[in-house]
Amino acid sequence: MKEKIAFALIMGIVTTGIISFTLITINLGWAHLHLAVWLKSWLVAYLIVIPAILIISPYVEKMVSFLLPKNKMK
């Protein structure tokens, strides 16, 4: 369980950082990109995505296992 939480925290930092930076740059333009705006957006996205990852990931894992069953014949 510790590994899943650590994964969610790290993956959340990386993905929300990349996406929030990209969307703010697209919507405001490079010249209007302010560090404070980006960090605020990053924080909001991070606070939303961490619980989402922790809640949704078991269902996604089950879906992947269903769609891609392991070959048990070796």
Whether 31 is covered by a domain: the verdict is: yes
Residue 43 pLDDT: 94
Whether 73 is covered by a domain: the verdict is: no
Q: Which domain holds residue 23?
A: 2-67
Residue 74 pLDDT: 54
Q: How many residues belong to the chain?
A: 74
> How would you write the pLDDT of the chain (74 residues) with one tens digit per residue?
889 889 889 999 999 999 999 999 998 888 777 888 899 999 999 999 999 988 998 999 999 999 998 876 55
Residue 73 pLDDT: 59
Number of domains in the chain: 1
Among 70, 66, 49, 67, smallest CA distance to 7 is for 49
What letter represents residue 43's amino acid?
L
